[in-house]
Amino acid sequence: MPISMAGYFLAVNPSYLLHMWDDESGKIMLSVAFALQVTGCVVLWRMLRSI
């Protein structure tokens, strides 16, 4: 879902998403969002393995 939303924002309003790459706080937010995505995937993977 996050990848499709990023694609949608790039198609509709590229400056909205590309501004995050240039701004320091945007880079931090993108890094935190990526880390949370990875953490969520790992947690779900471990939960499914324990079943």
Per-residue model confidence as pLDDT tens digits over 30-51: 899 999 999 999 999 999 999 8
Least confidently predicted of 1-10, 21-30, 32-41: 1-10
What one-character-per-residue DSSP string does 7-51 give?
HHHHHH-HHHHHHHHHSHHHHHHHHHHHHHHHHHHHHHHHHHHT-
Where does the pLDDT of residue 7 fall: very low under 50, low under 70, confident under 90, or very high at 90 and above? confident
Which residues make Cβ contacts (< 8 Å) with residue 7, sequence separation at least 6? none
Domain ranges of the chain: 2-49
The pLDDT value given to residue 39:
98
Computed over every residue of the chain, the mean pLDDT equals 90
